[in-house]
Amino acid sequence: MDSNLLNNNRIRDRFKPVQRPLAWMDIPKETWNRWTWQQQKRLRTEDQLAQVLTVFDDERAALDASKELFDLAITPYYASLIEPNNPLCPIRLQCIPKPGELDPAAYELSDPLAEDSHMPVPGITHRYPDRVLFYTTHHCAVYCRHCTRKRKVSDPSTAATQQQLEQGLNYIAAHPEVRDILISGGDPLSNSDDRLEYILERLRAIEHVEILRLCTRNLVTLPQRITLNLAQILKKYHPIYVHTHFNHPKECTREAFDACALLADAGCVLNNQMVLLRGVNDDPAVVLELNQKLLMMRVKPYYIFQCDMAQGLSHLRTPIAKGIEIIDSLRGWTSGIAVPHFVVDLPGGGGKVSLLPEYVMKREGKKWLFRNYQNIPFEYFDAD
Ligand code: SF4
């Protein structure tokens, strides 16, 4: 056997397939692996949840009260990652509501990044000089409790119509300064293959469009969505960057590994945007493990996002210092490619700022005194 293949297989073997709960044990593999089946069988109610895991009292109360605010939806695959009897399971915290969601702090905002106020036409946010956000759907396989777009995601009355899609495409075509499109949502992979291909084809036909970015959490919540057919479609419209959103090493399963491999083999460049969440990944050891696993899955850890100031997230938000501490714990201690940027996306549409630990201890004229990752001081002299 080719040694490279053997090597790849050894790496793949480290990623374990998800263990299904009893309730889904009898589902034939072929059915389980069909993404449309996973979509149809999503857990949407407290009763459905209770068939596969313990629903705790605080969650019952939050489920009832949050019904009108933000949908519940969890694919059987993602639900299988939840420890059924652990109220603090990091996967549970991301997809089952807790009472904190219902208690917005005074400083929190419904549209923290001011995306809606930078919307020249519905479905396009144009805030930066050369790139736009293009919302193609408001559906997601799993609705993340920490979503920054709760105000519209999961609300079917705000989904992108064909007319809206055309308006967005026309806007991009009419703006030659736009060279980079973030195809977003919701999750753009909630679109059918045909609709997605229509969007990609139309965007690629615009001469000034250079980069296409697909922002999707399906690799994490519904890896079955990454089919050979989808990979072959994407291959036709390169360069395509896929921005995904793994938050915890438990999400790095065999299924996710294979989905990433399909996209990477099809020539997509995969980047991860982790959101820092209390009780989920606010621990340097968890982030280290996640980032090292992502690299084995051919996904580059790109960003750690400070949790946005969206409403009802204060129970999940960590102090900014935690993100800096995590970067300090990575830099030097593991490969540079496992060290993402820690960024705060400034409220009101100010854009991202990147924060680093302080490595400069002192500066005297041309002499700089640094500390390295082990806190050992080193001098550096600027040239004359
Ligand atoms: S996948 Fe993204 S858009 Fe959808 S609920 Fe999660 S964070 Fe929000």
- Check pocket membership of 217 for ligand 1, CB cut-off 6 A: yes
- Distance from residue 139's CA to the centre of ligand 1 (Å): 8
**How much is the average pLDDT of 223-234?**
98
Strand partners, 68: none
- Residue 1 has what pLDDT? 43
pLDDT tens by residue, 279-328: 999 999 999 999 999 999 999 999 999 999 999 999 999 999 999 999 99
pLDDT over 90, % of the chain:
89
Which ligand 1 atom minimizes the distance to the CA of 154? 5
Domains of the chain, CATH where assigned:
100-355 (3.20.20.70)
pLDDT tens by residue, 324-348: 999 999 999 999 999 999 999 999 8
155 confidence band (pLDDT: 50, 70, 90): confident
- Check pocket membership of 275 for ligand 1, CB cut-off 6 A: no
pLDDT over 70, % of the chain:
98
Provide DSSP, 85-153.
Answer: T-TT-TTHHHHS--GGGG---TT-BSSTT--GGG-SSTTEEEEETTEEEEE--S--SS--TT-TTTTTT
- Distance from residue 119's CA to the centre of ligand 1 (Å): 19
- Residue 296 has what pLDDT? 98
110-119, 232-241, 354-363, 369-378: least confident range: 110-119
- Contacting residues for 326 by C-beta, under 8 A, at least 6 apart: 276, 282, 284, 287, 304, 342
- Residue 116 has what pLDDT? 87
- Distance from residue 144's CA to the centre of ligand 1 (Å): 5
- Residue 3 has what pLDDT? 47
Q: How far apart are CA 248 and CA 275, in angstroms?
A: 10
Residues catalogued as catalytic:
127-128, 131, 140, 144, 147, 149, 308, 345, 352
Q: Assess whether pLDDT exceeds 60 at residue 76.
A: yes
Q: How far apart are CA 280 and CA 287, in angstroms?
A: 10
Q: Assess whether pLDDT exceeds 60 at residue 5.
A: no
Q: Assess whether pLDDT exceeds 50 at residue 84.
A: yes
- Residue 7 has what pLDDT? 56
**How much is the average pLDDT of 62-80?**
93
- Distance from residue 364's CA to the centre of ligand 1 (Å): 48
Provide DSSP, 214-250.
Answer: EE--HHHH-GGG--HHHHHHHHTT-SEEEEE---SGG
Q: Assess whether pLDDT exceeds 90 at residue 384.
A: no
- Check pocket membership of 188 for ligand 1, CB cut-off 6 A: no
Most ligand 1 atoms within 8 A of CB, residue of 151, 187, 221, 313 to mutate: 187
198 confidence band (pLDDT: 50, 70, 90): very high
